[in-house]
Amino acid sequence: MKRRFLKAQQRWLQYILIKILLKLIALPPRKIALKIAAVFGSFAFLILKKDRNRSIDNLTRIFGKEKSQTEIQKIARDCFVHLAKNVVDAVHIPDMTSADFDRLVTSDDLIDFDAAVKRGKGLVALTGHIGNWELMAAWFASKGYPVSVVGRRLYDERLNKMLIELRQRSGVKNIDRDDSARVLLRALRKGGVLGILIDQDTKVGNVNVDFFGIPARTPVGIARLVIKIGVAVIPLGIHRQADESYHITIRPHIPAVIEESEDESEQDALVRLTQRFNEELEELIRQDIAQWVWMHRRWRFDNTRQNSSE
């Protein structure tokens, strides 16, 4: 009982501190706020030992043969800096005008994206925690696309409500990851764009497929939608540029059927498609390695665990 009370108090304090921090972030001009964020991110890299070490370990595991430890240390620190800067820009998203979005964000050609939307079956925007993913969703909403994002409920209901309100004020509909498949299908059948991030180890239905050459549990939700309704999938990501603007990379759409064989089981198809999705995310992450969340425990793989796509 005492432990539960202390945990509740700790979360309440965290919530208050986050609210105060977000209010303070919104005060200075963006240029100054980003400089402060860079300092804060570097400081966080120094004091958050667990996250720092995990970032360095993950980067070494993937890039240890091609990058020096000095380079890996810098990439890990830059990762923290980018995340801090992302918070600064995310706070301002609900108040941004269409002109603000145009000044801050550019994108690849939208012809393929628009063609997929016009098919009328909806579109899955395949992405990950790359760059400022919240800004990317809001940018598409500002262009008139009916955008919904699938997200995991946060551990604190107050913070969860805050995040949902931020998205809704930006024109982005939030769909809880635990909602039924019917909710997702409804969004797609209305010709909507459904943003789904699949680059984290979660408890939802998953399969073990390679991510940067190492097996990682990866959600199969998108693959299941492809198999069941033939939804179009377009991989995309957003990256901060040297001048603090952003650019959205839009990769070619993934056909609903990829190398399908007549004797392929649904489970085999789930694995094959999900592996392809991970490969697309790898390409997006490699554009700027520091703009992915390397402190995440992505490779919690257990050789004794079977694929769980239920």
pLDDT at residue 188 is higher than 50: yes
pLDDT in tens, 279-288: 999 999 999 9
pLDDT in tens, 292-308: 999 999 998 544 344 55
| φ, ψ dihedrals at 255, nearest 5° | -55, 150
- pTM, 2 dp: 0.90
pLDDT in tens, 113-127: 999 888 877 899 999
- Of the listed ranges 34-48, 121-135, 146-160, 247-261, the least confidently predicted one is 247-261
Cβ-based neighbours of 58, under 8 Å, separated by 6 or more? 294, 295, 296, 298, 299
In this prediction, residue 261 carries a pLDDT of 58
Domain boundaries, the chain: 2-291
pLDDT at residue 241 is higher than 80: yes
Cβ-based neighbours of 291, under 8 Å, separated by 6 or more? 79, 82, 130, 131, 239, 240, 285
Can you tell me the distance from the alpha carbon of 233 to that of 252, in angstroms, rounded to the nearest whole number?
A: 9
Task: Check if the beta carbon of residue 145 is closer than 8 Å to that of residue 193.
Answer: yes
Check residue 231 and report its DSSP letter.
-
pLDDT in tens, 72-96: 999 999 999 999 999 999 999 999 9
Can you tell me the distance from the alpha carbon of 85 to that of 131, in angstroms, rounded to the nearest whole number?
A: 10
- For 191-225, b/e burial (b = at least 16 CB within 10 A) is ebbbbbbbbbbeebbbbbbebbeeebbbbbbbbbb
